[in-house]
Amino acid sequence: MKLTHNIYLGIKRHPLKFMGEIFLAYSALWTIVESASYFFPDIKLQGINCYLALISLGVLVACIRAYPCRSINFKIGHSNTKITVLFGDLFDRDGYLAIPVNEFFDSQIGLPVSPRSLHGIVINKFFGGLSTSFDELVAADLANTPTKDIQRIGAKTLLYPIGTTAEVKINSHRLLLFALSITDLATFKASTTVPDLARALEGLCAKARVVLGGERLIIPLVGSGLSSIGLPANKLLELILLVLVNETKKSQFAFDIEVVIHPDRFDEIDLRLIEYLWR
């Protein structure tokens, strides 16, 4: 059922390309049939059954070609950096995981940090839901970072600039926690904007230049979660790639970058279109 849905999705996205693929496949098969008839006259590939078979094979080939791709990659011009965009589980990838957090680097699961956010999932998954070790590692890495002291009830009070990035290592996991969202002081609701997203990614790239050491950088589809900036998923991905390419042009920060998209977004993002734009 899912296979049929994905083929339909591919045809719906590119109907003219699908029709063209049928024609090209049919033409190629017809050429083979005509060639076979010329060199082997005893073979009679004629009649309605043969015609329907050619049409059916052409449609089959076009359906295979229409199936939406699950990953693409391209090299950034005049650099050694390769970017891969794929659907998958962020936590299955090997490298430095870039995790967006709020500007307070909150650690208390519940009202300050939703357990459904990537921020909350990391605290639960890697720190057992406990804030102490998370706070200690973040504070140690950001010891020399300028902050503002903001009075809040029941949460951390040190506010870091958007884009501030902390390198945190826990067991075999390597994390780059970067401040992306702004938190409402009364409701704890996190939000972000397009300029904030660009600044956050620029800060992440600046930290990556210092600590990455040739390791792969793995980035989620930031700005699409609980603090969504409201852009369609395709446009959000284009924005992220634009910032990453621009930062690479300034000064290379990674040889290998992966943008990992949750499979739930498969119907929303056309990787063939993204590939066309960036290749």
Segment 180-213, tens digit of pLDDT = 999 888 888 888 999 999 999 999 999 999 999 8
Domain with CATH 3.40.220.10 in the chain: 71-278
Which residue ranges of the chain lie beneath pLDDT 70? 1, 41-45
Q: What is the pLDDT of residue 42?
A: 67
Please give the model's pTM, rounded to 2 decimal places: 0.87
Q: How far is it between the farthest Cα atoms of the chain?
A: 91
CB 164 within 8 Å of CB 203: yes
Which amino acid is located at 15 in the chain?
P
CB 105 within 8 Å of CB 161: no
Ramachandran quadrant class, 129 (left: phi over 0; alpha: psi -120 to 50; beta: rest): left
The single residue listed with the structure tokens 């998954």 is 125
Which amino acid is located at 120 in the chain?
G
Distance between CA 63 and CA 85 in Å, rounded? 23
Q: What is the pLDDT of residue 218?
A: 97
Which H or E run includes 215?
none
DSSP 265: G
Q: Which CATH class is domain 71-278?
A: alpha beta
Spacing of C-alpha 16 from chain mean position: 27
60-81 confidence digits (pLDDT tens): 989 988 889 999 999 998 899 9
